[in-house]
Protein backbone atom coordinates (compact mmCIF):
# COMPACT_ATOMS: atom_id res chain seq x y z
CA UNK A 1 0.00 0.00 0.00
CA UNK A 2 1.27 3.47 -0.89
CA UNK A 3 2.38 5.46 2.13
CA UNK A 4 -0.21 7.99 3.29
CA UNK A 5 2.52 10.55 3.83
CA UNK A 6 2.12 13.43 1.38
CA UNK A 7 4.66 16.23 1.11
CA UNK A 8 4.55 19.65 -0.47
CA UNK A 9 7.75 21.21 -1.73
CA UNK A 10 8.90 24.34 -3.51
CA UNK A 11 10.94 27.48 -3.01
CA UNK A 12 9.69 30.19 -0.71
CA UNK A 13 6.59 31.89 -2.10
CA UNK A 14 5.58 28.94 -4.28
CA UNK A 15 2.07 28.76 -2.83
CA UNK A 16 2.45 25.57 -0.78
CA UNK A 17 0.42 26.90 2.13
CA UNK A 18 -2.54 27.82 -0.07
CA UNK A 19 -2.68 24.32 -1.57
CA UNK A 20 -2.25 22.70 1.85
CA UNK A 21 -5.17 24.78 3.19
CA UNK A 22 -7.34 23.71 0.26
CA UNK A 23 -6.37 20.07 0.77
CA UNK A 24 -7.11 20.28 4.46
CA UNK A 25 -10.65 21.55 3.74
CA UNK A 26 -11.12 18.89 1.06
CA UNK A 27 -10.08 16.03 3.37
CA UNK A 28 -12.23 17.38 6.21
CA UNK A 29 -15.27 17.45 3.91
CA UNK A 30 -14.68 13.78 3.18
CA UNK A 31 -14.25 12.86 6.86
CA UNK A 32 -10.74 11.63 6.17
CA UNK A 33 -8.43 11.71 9.19
CA UNK A 34 -5.17 13.60 8.71
CA UNK A 35 -2.53 15.66 10.45
CA UNK A 36 -0.58 18.59 9.02
CA UNK A 37 3.01 19.31 9.98
CA UNK A 38 5.54 21.87 8.84
CA UNK A 39 9.28 21.58 8.61
CA UNK A 40 11.41 22.49 10.34
CA UNK A 41 9.10 22.27 13.35
CA UNK A 42 6.02 20.41 14.48
CA UNK A 43 7.22 19.27 17.91
CA UNK A 44 8.49 21.40 20.78
CA UNK A 45 12.09 20.21 20.22
CA UNK A 46 11.85 20.73 16.45
CA UNK A 47 10.34 24.21 16.88
CA UNK A 48 13.30 25.18 19.06
CA UNK A 49 15.67 23.89 16.39
CA UNK A 50 13.66 25.91 13.84
CA UNK A 51 14.30 29.09 15.83
CA UNK A 52 18.05 28.48 15.68
CA UNK A 53 17.96 27.66 11.96
CA UNK A 54 15.94 30.68 10.89
CA UNK A 55 17.52 33.24 13.24
CA UNK A 56 19.25 35.90 11.15
CA UNK A 57 21.72 36.57 13.94
CA UNK A 58 23.29 33.15 13.33
CA UNK A 59 25.53 34.42 10.55
CA UNK A 60 28.26 31.80 10.48
CA UNK A 61 26.40 28.54 10.14
CA UNK A 62 28.48 25.77 8.57
CA UNK A 63 26.74 23.69 5.89
CA UNK A 64 27.28 20.57 7.99
CA UNK A 65 25.84 22.07 11.13
CA UNK A 66 22.84 23.47 9.27
CA UNK A 67 22.19 20.07 7.67
CA UNK A 68 22.42 18.17 10.95
CA UNK A 69 19.97 20.56 12.58
CA UNK A 70 17.39 20.23 9.79
CA UNK A 71 17.80 16.45 10.01
CA UNK A 72 17.58 16.45 13.78
CA UNK A 73 14.32 18.42 13.65
CA UNK A 74 13.03 15.91 11.08
CA UNK A 75 14.03 12.82 13.09
CA UNK A 76 12.15 14.15 16.11
CA UNK A 77 9.06 15.01 14.05
CA UNK A 78 9.00 11.55 12.45
CA UNK A 79 9.28 9.68 15.73
CA UNK A 80 6.94 11.91 17.72
CA UNK A 81 4.23 12.73 15.17
CA UNK A 82 4.53 11.31 11.66
CA UNK A 83 5.14 7.61 12.34
CA UNK A 84 2.44 7.30 15.03
CA UNK A 85 -0.08 9.08 12.79
CA UNK A 86 0.71 6.83 9.82
CA UNK A 87 0.53 3.74 12.03
CA UNK A 88 -2.95 4.76 13.12
CA UNK A 89 -4.02 4.97 9.47
CA UNK A 90 -4.10 8.77 9.17
CA UNK A 91 -2.87 10.81 6.24
CA UNK A 92 0.06 13.07 7.07
CA UNK A 93 0.49 16.28 5.09
CA UNK A 94 3.99 17.72 5.32
CA UNK A 95 4.81 21.31 4.45
CA UNK A 96 8.38 20.46 3.32
CA UNK A 97 10.20 17.17 3.97
CA UNK A 98 13.21 15.20 2.68
CA UNK A 99 13.40 16.97 -0.70
CA UNK A 100 13.86 20.38 0.97
CA UNK A 101 17.17 19.16 2.39
CA UNK A 102 18.35 17.82 -0.96
CA UNK A 103 17.30 21.03 -2.75
CA UNK A 104 18.47 23.63 -0.20
CA UNK A 105 21.48 22.01 1.49
CA UNK A 106 22.45 19.80 -1.48
CA UNK A 107 21.84 21.81 -4.64
CA UNK A 108 21.73 25.20 -2.89
CA UNK A 109 24.64 24.99 -0.44
CA UNK A 110 26.60 22.36 -2.34
CA UNK A 111 26.63 19.70 0.37
CA UNK A 112 27.18 16.13 -0.82
CA UNK A 113 23.88 14.74 -2.10
CA UNK A 114 24.54 11.08 -1.32
CA UNK A 115 25.53 11.96 2.25
CA UNK A 116 22.36 14.00 2.62
CA UNK A 117 20.31 11.09 1.29
CA UNK A 118 21.89 8.79 3.86
CA UNK A 119 21.14 11.31 6.61
CA UNK A 120 17.56 11.63 5.38
CA UNK A 121 17.16 7.85 5.49
CA UNK A 122 18.44 7.73 9.03
CA UNK A 123 16.06 10.53 10.11
CA UNK A 124 12.92 9.10 8.51
CA UNK A 125 13.52 5.39 9.09
CA UNK A 126 11.42 4.24 6.12
CA UNK A 127 8.74 6.97 6.26
CA UNK A 128 9.15 7.95 2.61
CA UNK A 129 6.34 10.07 1.14
CA UNK A 130 3.86 8.24 -1.06
CA UNK A 131 3.27 11.39 -3.10
CA UNK A 132 5.06 14.73 -3.30
CA UNK A 133 3.75 17.89 -4.94
CA UNK A 134 6.44 20.26 -6.12
CA UNK A 135 5.11 23.74 -6.79
CA UNK A 136 7.48 25.34 -9.22
CA UNK A 137 7.69 29.12 -9.41
CA UNK A 138 10.29 31.33 -11.09
CA UNK A 139 12.57 33.39 -8.89
CA UNK A 140 11.02 36.75 -9.80
CA UNK A 141 7.54 35.57 -8.86
CA UNK A 142 8.86 33.96 -5.70
CA UNK A 143 10.42 37.21 -4.54
CA UNK A 144 7.36 39.24 -5.50
CA UNK A 145 4.98 36.94 -3.63
CA UNK A 146 7.13 37.15 -0.54
CA UNK A 147 7.52 40.91 -0.51
CA UNK A 148 6.09 42.52 2.59
CA UNK A 149 7.19 39.63 4.86
CA UNK A 150 10.50 40.04 6.63
CA UNK A 151 13.10 37.55 5.34
CA UNK A 152 14.38 34.87 7.73
CA UNK A 153 17.97 33.58 7.58
CA UNK A 154 17.30 31.09 4.78
CA UNK A 155 15.30 33.60 2.76
CA UNK A 156 18.14 36.12 2.99
CA UNK A 157 20.49 33.79 1.11
CA UNK A 158 19.99 35.59 -2.21
CA UNK A 159 18.77 35.11 -5.75
CA UNK A 160 21.64 32.91 -6.93
CA UNK A 161 21.10 30.49 -4.07
CA UNK A 162 17.36 30.37 -4.74
CA UNK A 163 17.96 29.65 -8.46
CA UNK A 164 20.16 26.69 -7.55
CA UNK A 165 17.49 25.41 -5.17
CA UNK A 166 14.81 25.72 -7.85
CA UNK A 167 16.93 23.89 -10.42
CA UNK A 168 17.70 21.23 -7.83
CA UNK A 169 14.03 20.66 -7.18
CA UNK A 170 13.38 20.24 -10.90
CA UNK A 171 16.18 17.66 -11.13
CA UNK A 172 14.74 15.80 -8.14
CA UNK A 173 11.34 15.67 -9.85
CA UNK A 174 12.99 13.88 -12.77
CA UNK A 175 15.01 11.55 -10.55
CA UNK A 176 12.01 10.60 -8.40
CA UNK A 177 9.34 10.92 -11.08
CA UNK A 178 7.33 8.04 -9.60
CA UNK A 179 6.70 10.10 -6.46
CA UNK A 180 7.23 13.80 -7.24
CA UNK A 181 4.54 15.65 -9.23
CA UNK A 182 5.85 18.86 -10.77
CA UNK A 183 3.19 21.59 -10.87
CA UNK A 184 3.37 25.08 -12.36
CA UNK A 185 2.59 27.41 -9.50
CA UNK A 186 1.74 30.32 -11.81
CA UNK A 187 -1.44 28.52 -12.92
CA UNK A 188 -4.70 29.49 -11.19
CA UNK A 189 -4.98 28.02 -7.72
CA UNK A 190 -8.10 26.00 -8.44
CA UNK A 191 -6.58 24.29 -11.45
CA UNK A 192 -3.43 23.36 -9.49
CA UNK A 193 -5.64 22.00 -6.74
CA UNK A 194 -7.62 19.96 -9.26
CA UNK A 195 -4.44 18.31 -10.43
CA UNK A 196 -3.48 17.52 -6.86
CA UNK A 197 -6.80 15.88 -5.96
CA UNK A 198 -6.96 14.00 -9.27
CA UNK A 199 -3.56 12.49 -8.57
CA UNK A 200 -4.43 11.69 -4.95
CA UNK A 201 -7.66 9.94 -5.97
CA UNK A 202 -5.71 7.94 -8.52
CA UNK A 203 -3.15 6.77 -5.94
CA UNK A 204 -5.42 6.40 -2.90
CA UNK A 205 -8.57 4.59 -3.97
CA UNK A 206 -10.44 5.34 -0.72
CA UNK A 207 -10.32 9.11 -1.44
CA UNK A 208 -12.35 8.55 -4.57
CA UNK A 209 -15.76 9.22 -3.01
P1 LIG B 1 9.57 28.53 6.34
O2 LIG B 1 9.25 29.85 6.95
O3 LIG B 1 8.85 27.34 6.88
O4 LIG B 1 9.47 28.66 4.79
P5 LIG B 1 8.29 28.30 3.82
O6 LIG B 1 7.11 29.06 4.31
O7 LIG B 1 8.83 28.78 2.49
O8 LIG B 1 8.14 26.81 3.87
O9 LIG B 1 11.13 28.34 6.47
C10 LIG B 1 11.77 27.18 6.22
C11 LIG B 1 13.07 27.51 5.50
O12 LIG B 1 14.00 26.46 5.73
C13 LIG B 1 12.86 27.62 4.00
O14 LIG B 1 13.63 28.71 3.50
C15 LIG B 1 13.47 26.33 3.47
C16 LIG B 1 14.48 25.95 4.50
N17 LIG B 1 14.72 24.50 4.64
C18 LIG B 1 15.98 23.99 4.33
O19 LIG B 1 16.88 24.75 3.92
N20 LIG B 1 16.21 22.65 4.48
C21 LIG B 1 15.26 21.79 4.95
O22 LIG B 1 15.51 20.57 5.08
C23 LIG B 1 13.97 22.34 5.29
C24 LIG B 1 12.89 21.45 5.82
C25 LIG B 1 13.75 23.69 5.12
Number of domains in the chain: 1
CATH of the domain at 120: 3.40.50.300
For ligand 1, the distance from its centroid to the CA atom of residue 122, given in whole angstroms, is 20
pLDDT of 149: 79
pLDDT of 129: 98
Mean pLDDT, rounded, for 116-135: 98
Q: Is the CB of 70 under 6 A from ligand 1?
A: yes
pLDDT of 199: 97
pLDDT of 208: 80
Q: What is the pTM for the complete model shown?
A: 0.96
Mean pLDDT, rounded, for 92-109: 98
User: What domain range includes position 51?
Assistant: 5-207
Q: Which atom of ligand 1 is nearest to the CA of 13?
A: 7
For ligand 1, the distance from its centroid to the CA atom of residue 90, given in whole angstroms, is 24
Find how far residue 45's CA is from the centre of its chain: 19
For ligand 1, the distance from its centroid to the CA atom of residue 119, given in whole angstroms, is 17
pLDDT of 134: 98
Amino acid sequence: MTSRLISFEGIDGSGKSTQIDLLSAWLTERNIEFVIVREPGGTSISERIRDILLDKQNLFFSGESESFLFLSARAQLVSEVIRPALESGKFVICDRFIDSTLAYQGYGRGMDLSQLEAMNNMAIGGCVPGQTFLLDVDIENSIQRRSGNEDDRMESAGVKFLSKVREGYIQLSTQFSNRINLLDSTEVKSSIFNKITTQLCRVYGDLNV
